[in-house]
Every structure is written in C-alpha cells, then in structure tokens.
Chains A and B, each alone.
Chain A
Amino acid sequence: MSGPVVKLLMRRLLTVIPTLIMVSLLLFCVLRLLPVDAAAMSLPPNATNDEIAAMRIEMGLDLPLIQQYGIWFGDMIQGDFGTSIHFRTAVSTLVLDTLPATIELAVMAMGFATVFGVLGGLWLFYARGGAVEVGLDLGSVALLSIPEFLWALFFMLLFGVSLDLLPFIGRLGSGVARPETITGFLLIDSLLSGNMATFMDALRHMILPSVALGLSAAPPIMRILRSSLMDVYQEDYIHQARQRGISEGRILIRHALKNAFLPTLSLMGVQFGFLFGGTLLVEIIFSYPGMGNLMVDAIRNADLPIIQTVGLTYCVMVLLISIVVDVLYLVLNPKLREA
C-alpha cells in the first residue's frame, strides 16, 4: 500500500512547487499595485525625502519588479519572511503565533461540516421520492444561501447575546489561565498541561465560530452524498446484496456508503479549502485571534510583508489540504491503489 502512496506524494509535491512559485508571483505583483510607499511608511513621519530615497534603495524598491520578487522569494526559502512595518517584529513569528488558532478553528469546523453533511445527505437520501424530499431539498437550497459570516452573526445574536448560552469573543474567557504554549493549539496544550478548566473554556469559545463555518460548508456535502448514494443504488451489487437477504441498514453502511463516500471525499477537500478562507470572516466577527484578524489588521495598516506572507500561508494550507485528500482518496479507493 505504501508504494503508490509515496509515489503520489512525490508527484503531488513536485507539482505543488511550480504552483506555489506562480501563486507567490501573482501575490507579489497584485500587492505592488498598492499605491503605498513602503519606504516612507517604515520611517518616522518627520523623515526627509533624502532619507526616504535612501530607504528605498536599502529596501530594494528601486530594483526592477522581477528582481525584487527574486529577492523576496530567495529570502523566503531561507525562512526570512520580512519584518512587519507596523509591529516591527518578524512576520514569521506573527504568522506562527496565529496559524495554530486558525487551523484549530478550521479543523473543528470541518468536523462539524462532515457531521452535518453526512447526516443531512443520508436524510435527503432516505426522504427521496417522498413529499418530505421537496421540503428538504428547498431547505438545502436555503442553507446554501447562507454564507458563514451570516451564520456567525446570527449565532452571536441568538446564542451569545439573547440566550447568553455561549461566549462569543476571543479564544478564552478573561479570568481563565492560559496554558503554557507547547503546540500553539489551545485545546491540545491545555490537555497536555492537564488544565481541564481551560480546555472546557476554549472549547466553549470555539463552538459558535466552528458551527457557523461548518454549517456553511455542509450543504454541498449533503447534496453530493445524496446524489452519489443514488448512483450507487443503481449498481448490481446492491440488488444482489438485497437478494442475499442483507438488511437495508447494513447495505447502506457496509456496501453503499463506502462507495458513495469517494466522490463526497473529493468535494470535502474543496470545501475544506473554502472553509479555510472563511475562517477569516468568522475570526473577525468573534474577535478570534487567528491569521484572519492578523490579515485584516495588516490591510488596515497597509503592512505589506504581513499581507503577502499570510496570503501565501492560506494558499499553502489549501494546497496541503488537497494533497492530503488525494492521498486519502488513494488509500480508500482499491481501484486506484493497484494502478
């Protein structure tokens, strides 16, 4: 089993490199359109024009665009992502501080999206042909029309403000002890340090943002699971299983779901990528200290080094997710495994 997986991994990693180079080039060029003088911004307001000009040369802003890009890319390969103009700290530190929070949120949201998507898909499939189906189907179109940030605001109003059930600001309550940073993932760190109170508080803070994100990613999963189940049920082996007297529940779980899950899995990869971008809005709404808030603050301050690094980090995450999904697909699909 490991042979094809390793081969696929190697191939995918090789195609990812040119993609990343193009993505970074695109990012670099788009952000150079910004009418902001990075040299003037990194100096105190009373700097003279000569000082600004000297700074431009020092920062390499007088060089041709492609050469500037080369320098940036070369530095990045060596792990130097530049210094934030606003915070005066290494961008890599800022990103590494916020990335785990965003990953934690995205993974938990994807968990919810999977649960809602699979349960909803099964429900849609069971209701097929009945009067309930029309209602459910219209419901899924309605769900599809609610983007993550509307769910987030709605949940904040309902469960946070009106019902006062769950916290909706930040990652931890004000009086709660922060665990020592081991991995950066609050849930894991608090468990590792045996701090159950912190763990529960962090979990409660994550429920509203991750359910909001998960709900927005679930409807396409529901719909594709339903349609692939419909396809699978046309296959001969389902009829044969029925004739062998296997119960409907067992047919669904042991035979149909296993095969219908493959197309669903590739869609889930795409949805996970979208969802990862959606964390940005949810983070802003819930003041959740992740990469999204870092990005939006950087945009307000026109802090280019942060914007381009965070932008690139989002792309790296999306590409990583697609590789993981491809590998999972291979592992779960016996037809591809032998090839």
Chain B
Amino acid sequence: MAQRFNWLRSGRVITGLVIVTGLVLCAVFAPLLAPNDPTEQDILAILVPPVWLPGGDWAFPFGTDSLGRCVLSRLIFGSRIALTVAVCGALGAMVLGSILAHIAGYFGGWVDWVIGRVVEIWLSFPPVILSLILMVGLGAGLQNVILAIILVDWTRFCRVLRSDVMVVAQRDYVAAARLLGFSHWRTITREILPATLPLLITLMSLEMGVAVVVEAILSFVGMSVGAEIPAWGQMIADARADIYSAPWVLVLPILAIFVTVFGFNILGDGLRRTLDTRLTQTERA
C-alpha cells in the first residue's frame, strides 16, 4: 500500500501537481478571483502598466491592454479555455489512441498493419499544419478545437502504447487468461490495460501540455474560440500591435502558457520516473 503512493515522494510530481492545482483553482473560481470583468473595456484606462511599474494602478494589478481590458482578469479567465482544452483534448486523444493501440498491439496481423499505415499517413502531416487544415474544415469554436486536437494527437498515444501492448501481450499471464477462457475484451481490459496504465497516465499528462500549446497557437492565428472569450493565444495576438509601448501585455500570457505547459511536463516527467521504477520492481519480484 505504501508503494502505491510512491509517486507522491517525487519533487517533480509535487511541483507539477501544485502548478496544475493552482490553475484548476484559477479556472474554477475565476469570477471570484478576477478583479474585473475580463471583457469590459475601459477607454479611459488604455495600456495601464502593471503595479510594479511606474504609473501602475491597483485597480488593474497586471495593467490593461489596448482596449482597456484588465490583463489579470483575462489571464485568469483564459485558464478556463486552456484547461478545458487540455482535459477534453488530451482525454479524447488518449481514448482514441489507446483503444487503437491496444487493438493493434493485441491482435497484430492485418489489423496492426492497417492501423500502422493510418498512423504513418497522419505522421506525414506536421501537427500544426494538420490542426490548421482541420480547423479550416470544421470551423472555429471550442468544440472544434478539442476535436482537432483529438484527431491530430491520437497518434502520439497509439505509436508509443502499441509497442508496449505488444510486449505485455506476449507475457505468460496473458496467455493463461486466454486459456482460462477470458474473452479478448476481458483479457485486454483486465490483464493488459493495468500493465500499460502507467505509460498511459504519463503520456496523458504530457499531452495536456501539448493541447494547451495547440489551443494557444490556434487562437493566436484567430481560429479558436471567438474574440469575445478571453484566451491566452488571443491575448498574445492582440498584444503584438503594442509591442513597443506595452510589452507586458505580451509577456504575461507568454508566461502563463509557459508555466502551464511546464506544470504538465514536469508532472509527466515525474510520473514517468516513479511509475517506471514501480513497474521494474514488480517485474523483479
């Protein structure tokens, strides 16, 4: 039982969890935390610098953008879009990718061949290009951003997990389960999935970081949620016009994206290390 929570001893996992939890809190309590309405424009307070710079005003702790909107409030509300996309996009990509990976790795043969070819076709698209093309076809909007992320990134799961499944499927206990009369479905879910789960969780954490970046990219080129909803990529795109007069409007959303992605990556890195050793320990036992 003590071993089960080994991962909590990793500094990386803790760091990642702290950052991610902070973000979740920001997103959930955004209306309470944000000092101002993120979409309210104050024409009299345009490009107010943040409080630590001369001319700052505590009414707008992180200053305002070119339309007089509160940067801090927009950052806080922007975390909602980022997290929604991270959770839904990564979850969807994981489900689609790992189902296909388990089918391909378990059954092998022509099924594996077909799935392998599909992955190959997908990988000949640079991810940015494929997601842009999908957004052109699907049209802008939060749901379509999530759908595009799922349709682009399932290959990340499929490629890595497939070889893992193939190794596990060769194990004696899997053959034993089949001999006992387990159905294919039951063998995959009860015998193989528990063994591939650590890798799956690790990939999921990394994918959440990727999803945040993809959403930022899409909203940066104006193909994500509409301009009326605050999103970090959108804030960056808006701030480019004032790069000389108000660099902080550009720097703050950049930092927000970096911290978020770093949180997911360090969490994934920590999980990979701790869960991997757990796997080898059970193997040794």
Contacts and interface: CB of A to CB of B under 8 A. Distances in A.
Interface of A: 19-20, 22-23, 26-27, 30-35, 138, 141-142, 144-147, 149-150, 153-154, 156-157, 161-162, 273-274, 276-278, 280-281, 284-285, 295-296, 299, 302, 307, 311, 314-315, 318-319, 322
11 contacts: A26-B121, A33-B137, A141-B262, A142-B262, A144-B265, A147-B216, A150-B254, A157-B243, A157-B251, A280-B129, A295-B132
Contacts of B126: 273-274, 276-278, 280, 314-315, 318
Given A31-B133, A33-B137, A153 B261 contact: no
Given A23-B125, A156-B243, A281-B217, 11 more contacts: A33-B137, A35-B139, A147-B213, A277-B126, A277-B127, A280-B132, A281-B220, A281-B221, A284-B221, A315-B126, A315-B129
B128 A22 contact: no
Nearest to A299: B136
B223 interface: yes
Given A276-B126, A296-B221, A153 B132 contact: no
Q: Could you say which interface size class chain B belongs to?
A: 35 or more
B5 to A, nearest CB: 22
Contacts of A154: 254
A141 B269 contact: yes
Interface in B242-261: 243-244, 247, 250-251, 254, 257-258, 261
Interface string B217-229: 1001101000000
B142 interface: no
A161 B243 contact: yes
B125 to A, nearest CB: 6
A311 B121 contact: no
Contacts of B120: 19
Nearest to B269: A141
Nearest to B259: A145
Given A19-B121, A34-B137, A144-B265, A149 B129 contact: no
Interface of B: 12, 117, 120-121, 123-129, 132-134, 136-139, 209, 213, 216-217, 220-221, 223, 236, 240, 243-244, 247, 250-251, 254, 257-258, 261-262, 265-266, 269
A145 B121 contact: no
A284 B220 CA distance: 10
A197 to B, nearest CB: 27
Nearest to B220: A149
B121 A22 contact: yes
A322 B125 CA distance: 12
Contacts of A22: 117, 121
A33 B138 contact: yes
Given A19-B120, A281-B220, A31 B254 contact: no
A138 B217 CA distance: 25
A23 B126 CA distance: 12
Contacts of A315: 124-126, 129
A163 to B, nearest CB: 12
Nearest to A146: B258
Q: Sorted from nearest, which 5 A-B pairs have the closest CB atoms?
A: A277-B126, A33-B137, A145-B262, A145-B261, A30-B137
A147 B126 CA distance: 14
A27 B132 contact: no
A135 B162 CA distance: 33
A299 B223 CA distance: 10
